[in-house]
Structure 1
């Protein structure tokens, strides 16, 4: 069954203390057929009230609006409307602020220098995929955020996990590394905690995704 027009239209709240900038955003977004502006706000208190009353799909939030600090505003918006995706608009390209906002749950961080098609694409992207994060910042900022977020495993934990990726059991890993099996189990527990993993396969997959270990084929048991 096809979705109705109401289902496919993206509702957006604009939050910026410059009325002229909000007017420009409104003109850009309402020029496409699948977006509508449900309200505007110029400070953090008004932003939270607006979101509570409209529950928009997306909030475009200026990083320097008057009132509460931006991460507090993000937190309050997400508490009131968990399904609302927040895209930050900023003049500043700083990895520390970006990291804090990503931790607070934003789904996008765009510099105000982006082109209109990038803005439109970002809004559509976070609406279509709630897990997606859209960034339009420098490579240096992204690299610093990724480096800070990457889990750190000890050399021995990396050895253990690399062998676990080859489908070796704890006892087989212990023999290869000259360790007690209990020590291998302790290393695996530490790995699960550090990677927030729920199983050996989950830990291996997360380590591969983070390039902590190298992909290898299965090793036959000794």
Structure 2
């Protein structure tokens, strides 16, 4: 047995609402008593620090999508690039469709709603058993994809990379990106048109998916 399972599976819980952290901790004691939430983080930065030090101890990362600052899919992507075995299960209070595509691209093993205890229990049990939810990959497959395919990143200029990160990872609109960078909305849209061409895509949505899949990091 490894540190991940000695004394029962250990979970890293990431949610920026401390009340939710406490509620989920109590919930797991009731519905999955063999599972222990051994660490919790309320920000993406804190979660990454814990994961970098203790990934070999976690049987699962339970990761909220709508974190302050660094969003859940980006936290997931960075975790997956660190580790090829620990499963990551996303959770959200919003529609699953809002995060399914970017989270799958970021290397997670599933996504579940926070509001349904039964679905949460089933999803956690399934991922802990070594399975993954429909539309997602195994940790190893996701790790290999993110590590080996960084072609998209190298084709963009620094400004274009910044715009793609703001769009794909922080979900900013053209107007919000323009305000953040101090440029016009028309300039942002022109950059996006060039990005779509450079990534050999037909639409902005396809370009965002391609960018996420190819691991947008230096």
Q: TM-score range by the shorter chain?
A: 0.5 to 0.7
Alignment coverage as a number of residue pairs = 132
In structure 2, the partner of 1:100 is 102
User: Please, which moves more after superposition, 11-20 or 88-97?
Assistant: 88-97
CA distance in 2, matches of 1:94, 1:109: 7
Say which SS state the counterpart of residue 23 (structure 1) adopts: helix
Superposition RMSD on alpha carbons, in Å?
Answer: 2.6
Shift of the 23–96 alpha-carbon distance from structure 1 to 2, 3 Å rule, reads closer
In structure 2, the partner of 1:85 is 87
In structure 1, the partner of 2:125 is 124
Shift of the 9–100 alpha-carbon distance from structure 1 to 2, 3 Å rule, reads same
CA distance in 2, matches of 1:87, 1:4: 19
CA distance in 2, matches of 1:72, 1:3: 28
Shift of the 53–4 alpha-carbon distance from structure 1 to 2, 3 Å rule, reads closer
Structure showing greater Rg? 1
Say which SS state the counterpart of residue 90 (structure 2) adopts: strand
Structure possessing the higher relative contact order (Cα contacts under 8 Å, 6 or more residues apart):
2
Say which SS state the counterpart of residue 99 (structure 2) adopts: helix
In structure 1, the partner of 2:50 is 50
8 A Cα contact 2:65 2:99, kept in partner:
no
Q: Does 2:39 align with 1:39?
A: yes
Normalised to the residue count of structure 2, the TM-score between the two structures is 0.54
Q: Which runs of 5+ in 1 are unaligned?
A: 136-222
Shift of the 43–134 alpha-carbon distance from structure 1 to 2, 3 Å rule, reads farther
8 A Cα contact 1:57 1:84, kept in partner:
yes
In structure 2, the partner of 1:9 is 8
Q: Which runs of 5+ in 2 are unaligned?
A: 136-218
Offset at residue 30 of structure 1 (A)? 2.5
**Deviation digits for residues 120-167 of structure 1 (CA, Å, limit 9, x no counterpart):** 22112111124x2169xxxxxxxxxxxxxxxxxxxxxxxxxxxxxxxx
Give the alignment of 1:173-184 within 5 angstroms. none
Give the alignment of 1:16-31 within 5 angstroms. 16-31=15-30
Offset at residue 54 of structure 1 (A)? 2.2
Offset at residue 19 of structure 1 (A)? 0.6
Say which SS state the counterpart of residue 59 (structure 1) adopts: strand
Shift of the 114–53 alpha-carbon distance from structure 1 to 2, 3 Å rule, reads same
Normalised to the residue count of structure 1, the TM-score between the two structures is 0.53
